[in-house]
Structure formats: structure tokens, C-alpha cells
Structure 1
Amino acid sequence: MTVASLTLDETFAQPATEERILRAAEALKANNFSAHVVDSAADARVLLHGLLPKDKEIFTANSETLRVSGIAADIDDGGSFRSVRSKLVGLEGDIRAQIASGAAPDVVVGSVHAVTESGLMLAASASGSQLGPYAAGAEKAFWIVGAQKIVADLDAALRRVRTYSLPREYERIYAATDGRFESFIGKILIMEREYLPDRSTVILVREEIGF
């Protein structure tokens, strides 16, 4: 597989309309997720800072949304939070130890690749390491999601994952590693409804951010 062989559908880069954003937010609430809508990534950063506990260990999933927004740096390097990643420094090369450390954190913070107007959320991964804490491993979960990830239905969500998120991530990984590594879809998690009240929070951002 090469980046040239992947189909990139740029229509999935367009932020959803206000009507669709609010529809998705209400659907998420109906599915037992807490949902907030903010104007910008900077607003999401401020809101999340106030929601995250200072006395719990927090694992930041690999995410362009977290990196670009500065949220990953706030949690892992800012000194205000108990970062799981800050403890992984001595585990380079030990994949199993790294996965185990992030499998059941007190809190996971990340993003997803698609949200449907009916309140489904999809997250794709090569290794699947963040999907365990997303689904149930973490006591609490927070997702920051750009409005371009809101789609009509499950079919559109799967197409977005394969024709937008994957090509963009493939290109990023390939460039960052000078062609030594390639990205692929290993596993896809579909979150339809939250079982535990007050466990999961979604922050929808009106602007485009992440893949």
C-alpha cells in the first residue's frame, strides 16, 4: 500500500453546519454521553482543563487533535496533571509494557474519527491500544472532536475512516518516519451508547481539527 493508492475524499474535511452539530450533540446526550459544543480548539482546551481531575492518572491517546490543540502538551508536559505518558519514558521498545500502562487508566483523553448525527462514535486504530480504555478500561473518558468529523450515518462514518482519516494518517506517519513505517486500519471501535452515567464526555469543536 502507498499513499498514492489511497483515495482521499476531501469532502470529509468540511465542518458540519450548526444544525448538524447541535443534532449530533443532542443525540450523544440521548446515548448517555455528556456533550459540549465550543467554537474553537482553544475553547476546548480551556473547558477540558476545568473538567479533568488533578488527582487521577490521565492517559493521552495518540491523536493529531490533541497534538495540534496543545492538549497533549498540557497534560503530559504541563505539570498540572498526573500523566501516564510521562511515566513511559523508560519503556521505549517495550510495546507490551506501553500498552499495559495505558490499558486501564483513571482517565483517557483522545478523539474519534467520526460522529454520526444519531450519536454513534467511531475510532480506528492500527494497534488498537487506545480502544480498550475508550470502551471500558478507563474510569472516565474525554473526546475532543472537530466538526468535520460529524457525518450523516454509520455508512458515511466508515467511508470517512477509510477515505479520509486513513490516507491523512498514512501520509503523516510515512513522512515522520522517512518511509520506515506505514499506517493501516487494524481495528475499528463503534461506540453506540455509554453504559455508566457521567463516564464519557464529548467536546464538539465547531472548527476543523485533526483527521
Structure 2
Amino acid sequence: MSIPQNTNLAETFAELTKSDAKVTSLADSHFAKPASAERVNAAKAALEKNGFKVHVVNTRADAFEALKNLIPAGVSINNAHSTTLEEIGFITYIKGDTPWKNIHGTIVQEKDAAKQADLR
């Protein structure tokens, strides 16, 4: 399966480094380059030592599929902003027909501020 395209291109790392003065300096920094296998493995080990389950993937498509497979059908999901989720196409995906109840979508659709606060 091909992953959905990110429809919010203004929120990609590449675009944010062009348009957001707070992150412009990061465009050529080490943050713009993939971490070494050594750093990934060290981070994975530290997270697992603290009780986290870690899935290391190599591509956006792998990340998208891993995330989809980790979330059980029928559960409620919600999200705050995540450039990573935007980049892998997951935000676009959850706006469509999924096996989950998208609470974020429900909150955003509610126009009454008091009701919206209750939903949060």
C-alpha cells in the first residue's frame, strides 16, 4: 500500500526551515540529517530500559504501516500537532475512513467552545 501524501506541506521540516525564523538555522544542522545507527541503537536501548516499546523503521512508508498496525481497531485516537505524523502522511490518513474513532476530528468540527472544551 502506498502511504497517503501529506496534504499540509507547510508543516514539513523543509518548509518550516524556510518560513519559521525560529527553525531556519536548523536547515543545515545535524537535525536535518538522519541519526547514525549507533545513536539510534543507543536511544532505543535507553527507551527500552525505561519500559518503552520501540520500533525502528527505515522509511516513511515503514513508519506509516508500523503505526497503523500498532493501533487496535475500534479505539479512540487524538493527536496534537506532529510534524513527524504530517511527514509520513498519517494526519492525512486519519482524516479519512479509518478503523478508529478520530476524537481530534470531532473536537475540531464542534463549533461551540464550551462543548469543544468538554470534548477535550
Identify the TM-score tier after normalising by the shorter chain: 0.5 to 0.7
Identity score, percent? 31
Q: 1:62 to 1:6 in 2, by over 3 A?
A: closer
Match of 1:20 in 2: 39
The C-alpha deviation readout for 1:142-182, integer Å capped at 9, x for no partner, is xxxxxxxxxxxxxxxxxxxxxxxxxxxxxxxxxxxxxxxxx
Matched, 1:50 2:62: no
In structure 2, the gaps of 5 or more residues are 1-19
Contact 2:74 2:99 in 1 (8 A): no
- Which residue of 25, 37, 41 maps to 1:8? 25
| Post-superposition offset of 1:93 | 7.0
User: Moved runs in structure 1, 4+ residues, more than 6 A?
Assistant: none
Answering whether residue 119 of structure 2 is matched by residue 101 of structure 1, we say yes
Q: 1:97-176 alignment to 2 at 5 Å?
A: 97-98=115-116, 100-102=118-120
Give TM-score, length-normalised by structure 1: 0.41
Q: Once the 2 structures are TM-superposed, how far is the Cα of residue 19 of structure 1 from its aligned partner?
A: 0.8
Map 1:66-105; keep pairs closer than 5 Å.
66-92=85-111, 94=113, 97-98=115-116, 100-102=118-120
Using the alignment, how far apart are the partners of 1:5 and 1:84 within structure 2?
Answer: 30
From the two aligned structures, give the one with the greater helix fraction. Answer: 2
Which range is displaced more, 13-22 or 58-67? Answer: 58-67
2:94 aligned partner, one-letter code: I
RMSD of equivalent CA atoms: 2.5
| Matched length | 99
| 3-state SS of 1:87 partner | helix
How high is the TM-score relative to the length of structure 2? 0.68
Instruction: Answer whether contact 1:77 1:86 (CA < 8 A) is retained.
Output: no
Q: Answer yes or no: is the 8 Å Cα contact 1:38–1:44 preserved in 2.
A: yes
Q: Is the 1:76–1:85 Cα contact (8 Å) retained in structure 2? A: no
* Cα distance per residue 1:34-84 (max 9 Å; x no partner): 111000111011111111011211002212221221112222313322111
Structure 1 unaligned segments of length 5 or more: list them.
Answer: 103-211
Judging changes above 3 Å, is the alpha-carbon distance between structure 1 residues 19 and 82 closer, same or farther for their aligned structure 2 residues?
same
Cα deviation digits, residues 104-154 of structure 1 (max 9, x gap): xxxxxxxxxxxxxxxxxxxxxxxxxxxxxxxxxxxxxxxxxxxxxxxxxxx
